[in-house]
Amino acid sequence: MKERTPLSLLLRGFLFVVLVDLIVVAMVTGIGWWTGWTELDDFQYAIQVAGLLVMGLGLLGIKGNLDMSRSFEYQFSMSVIKEASWERIQQTLLDLAQSYSFMLIMFIAGGVCLLIGWLL
């Protein structure tokens, strides 16, 4: 299996953010077309509300991550790693980014939706 570099992980996260934003904007546009919105303000407000909902969905990912990373087994395994301190810090940051990646992607995607709605 190919090792993932920080750049490849960043690009993958960027693609997920773009995909989530495209889906959200397409859903808002579909709902607006179906209900007959004719004003730009309706779309602007709906995209901002959708962005807040996406951010709220990201908050749901926190509970499971807190339960997983605060267990005794996880804390003990991190304390007995025989790597150098710099490698241990890198591993801790990668574990943190991996466990909170859903929340981070949803927060960034929601922020982009808020920005799109604000700029319209």
70 in a domain, yes or no?
yes
pLDDT along the chain (120 residues), means of 10: 73 93 95 92 95 92 64 59 69 74 90 93
2 in a domain, yes or no?
no
108 in a domain, yes or no?
yes
3 in a domain, yes or no?
no
Total number of domains in the chain: 1
pLDDT value of residue 26: 96
103 in a domain, yes or no?
yes
**CA 72, CA 111: separation in Å to the nearest integer?**
35
Phi, psi dihedrals of residue 52, rounded to the nearest 5°: -65, -35
pTM: 0.75
pLDDT value of residue 81: 60
Can you state the angle between helices 40-69 and 6-35, rounded to 10 degrees? Answer: 140
Determine the structural domain holding residue 107 and report its residue range.
16-119
48 in a domain, yes or no?
yes
24 in a domain, yes or no?
yes
**CA 55, CA 27: separation in Å to the nearest integer?**
16
110 in a domain, yes or no?
yes
pLDDT value of residue 23: 96
